Each structure stands twice: as structure tokens, then as C-alpha cells.
A = this chain, B = another copy of it.
Amino acid sequence: MHDASARHHAAERTGIWFVGARGSVATTATVGLAAIAGAQAPPTGCVTAREPFASAGLPEFADLVVGGHDISAVTMTKRAERLVETGMIPPRLLAATHDAVERADAEVRPGYDPHAGHGPGPDAAVSERAVSEQPVSQQPVSQQAVAERLAGDITAFQDRHGLARVVVIDLSSTEPPVTDVPELHDPEALLAALADPDRAVLPASSVSAYAAILAGASYAAFTPSAGMGVPALTALAQERGIPVAGQDGKTGQTWLRTVLAPAFAARGLKVLSWSGTNLLGGGDGATLADPDAVRSKLATKTRGLTALTGSETTPLHIDNVPDLGDIKVAWDHVHVEGFLGSRITLQTTWSAHDSMLAAPLVLDLARLLALAHAAGISGPVPELGFFFKDPWTSDVHDAAAQAVALEDWVRRTAQARP
């Protein structure tokens, strides 16, 4: 019975709408999705490929359709080629997925670039070089109008492909922290401000989140940017039946820390200091070389650790080391007090292609939010905290506890689903 039902649900096609569709993570996810769907690669790194997820009626990989927004004119195909050159994506997979990636890129529409005026209107033509060529709109456009244009792209995508539902996933570059204003806390005030062509009350990531609400799409914030985390937007999502999850994907060093820190606590050992350094190149390295952007990142990275260990001595650095390309190397030094004040040290060195860690989790989130939406869940889903550095509506950071909670949730939700 259960299997039949699972198979039935899986037949529903689901859209993934990437904000930042032409970046490394979205492109890697798209290549990988095509490779998994085409059986050219196993779903290694996908949490949802194993039980209890595998029989929970999530949409099959082959039933996921990709589209998205981006402000870049470099196509996913081009981006994938570059990722092959750097040694990240295997050449044979590029060939095997070429058509699927081209099809996905054909679904990419111009994103919202606040630095280029209030962005193109809803009727902007789509072309590979759309963003750079189109004349910057001379008339100020309200953020409401921008969001409606973006939402229109999403619903058109859904209609075009006959999708049961769409999940929006924010993978765009990290923004600096947002200045707090009263409108961010009050849905009505926010809607009023959005309608004013002279104001730009929301950061770009939050305009995209609002567009997801307008389009009735589920939403996940994989970056530390504000996105749906603005209280007034969270409230709107809750009200309009949108399940949301965030924030800031927990992929490498932070994940490792939330695996280790609870283990020390379970042993009654006392963490005195947890010092760390990240080296990374690629676009992310360059973005995070900006002291403003890195502030958002360092804040989410440290929050969970402090909660888990009680130690305030957690110096952390992110260095832009361009020659490392897509590889991220993280060193941690943990100084622990043991029995009778004895000295314990643990050092870890983690090395991985950052986009390769993020991409499968992004596919997991799309499948799980599709389930949440089908089950009628709205607002932040705390049990998806497993995926995030700074989980919304949850103070659980312990990775093992999060894994148990996630499995319980998927079992429960699959059974409760109408």
C-alpha cells in the first residue's frame, strides 16, 4: 500500500527554481541531477537517497525540473565547462548531461539586481546576455513590481511544465547584514513599503523570497543572506501556506563542528577554545574577501558552536586563496580540558570541493520541501534544521540529534500526507 502510494506521489513532477541558477552550486546540482536521473552517477551525498527517505514518497530525481533566476550572463553550460577545467566535474559527466543542462539554462530568467536600478520589468525578454544588454530602466520600479515579475517567471515555469509544485532555493552570493527597520517586522507595513517606487526596503534575497510567496512556491535559504528570514516575510509565508527552511547550508567545517562538539559534551569534556581557519578560492572566496559579506557568514558559523560548547574563544578566519579554486580547506584546533585539568587537543583538516558538498543537499531540500508542501505544512520547518548552520525556529545544532529529528519528521509526514 505504502509503496504504491509512494510511487503515485513520485509521479508528480516538481520544479526547482534556483535563485543564482548560473552559479557553481546550482550548476553542479543541475549536472548532478541529470546524471543521477540518467543513472550515470549514484546519488552519493544525497541524504534522501537512503531510508527512511527513499520510501517516503518524495519526488523522484527524474521528476525534478530545473529553472531559475540569475543576474549573470554566463550560461550554466559555460559554467559547467569551467568547473570541468578546474578538475571539479568529471569530463564524462559534462558530455552525458549536456542537453539537460542546456534545457535548464533555457529556463533561466533575469534576476533582480538592485545595483542596476530596480531591475527589468515583468515583461523583460530572456536572452543569454539579457542583463548586460538591456537598457537600465529609467523609471523607478517598486520592489512589489519586481517581485511580481519574478513570481510571474516562476508560475510561468510551473505552467509550462505542468508541475505539481515549485521549490525556490536561494543560492545567490552572500549579502552584507541588513539594517533593521520597523517594516521588516510588520507584514502590512512591509507591503506598503514595497509598493513605493522610491523605496528599496528589502535586500535582493528577500525580494526573491517574497516572489516565492507570491508564486505559492516553497522556499529554502541556503545562504546567510536575509531572504525569508525577515520576520514579516516569515509571517506571510506561514499565513499563505508556504513551507520554508533555512538558513545557510551546513556543508563542511560547520557541519563537522556540530558533529564533534556534542560528542565532547556527552563525554563530560570541556571545550576551552575552538579555533579555525578557512581557505577558499573560487567566486565564494572572492565574495567573502569582502569584510561586509564575511560578517554575515562568520556570525552564522560561530553561533551553533558557542551554543554547543559554552566556550567564547572561537577565533575564525576566512581567507581568499584564489589558487585553491573550488577547493575549500578548513583547519580546526580544539583545546579541551579533560580529567583533572589534563590537556586534550584535536586538530581536523577538511578538504573538499565546496559546491560538491552543497549541491546534493540542495536536491534533498527540494525533495523534502515538496513533501512538506504536499502535506500542507506552512512556515518554517524546524526539523529541516539538519541542513543549516543557523536553523530557523530551532535551537538544536547537534548534527546527530538533527539527523534523528529529520528521519522522524519524514516518517511522520509521509504517513500524515493526504
Contact = CB atoms under 8 A, between A and B. Distances in A.
Interface of A: 28, 31-32, 35, 41, 43-50, 87-91, 93, 255-256, 259-260, 262-263, 266-270, 272-273, 275, 277, 279, 313, 315, 317, 319-324, 329, 331, 333, 335, 337-353, 356-357, 359-360, 398-401, 403-404
A253 B272 CA distance: 20
B331 A333 contact: yes
A352 B335 contact: no
A268 B50 contact: yes
B356 A352 contact: no
A195 B324 CA distance: 55
Given A277-B317, A333-B331, A400 B266 contact: yes
Given A346-B348, A400-B262, A400-B263, A329 B340 contact: no
User: Which are the 7 A-B pairs with shortest beta-carbon distances?
Assistant: A400-B400, A45-B339, A272-B323, A315-B319, A342-B356, A259-B263, A344-B352
Given A315-B321, A344-B351, 17 more contacts: A31-B340, A32-B340, A41-B340, A44-B270, A44-B340, A44-B341, A46-B268, A46-B339, A47-B268, A259-B260, A275-B277, A275-B321, A315-B317, A340-B356, A342-B353, A344-B350, A400-B401
A157 B23 CA distance: 54
A313 to B, nearest CB: 6
Please give the count of copies of this chain that the complex contains. Answer: 4
A328 to B, nearest CB: 10
A250 to B, nearest CB: 10
A15 B363 CA distance: 55
Nearest to A342: B356
A375 to B, nearest CB: 22
A177 B87 CA distance: 40
Nearest to A276: B277
A349 B350 contact: no
A324 to B, nearest CB: 6
25 contacts: A28-B340, A32-B340, A44-B270, A45-B339, A46-B268, A47-B268, A87-B87, A90-B340, A91-B91, A255-B267, A260-B260, A263-B403, A266-B403, A273-B324, A275-B277, A315-B321, A321-B335, A323-B335, A323-B337, A331-B333, A338-B357, A339-B356, A344-B357, A348-B348, A349-B349
A339 B351 contact: no
Contacts of A35: 340
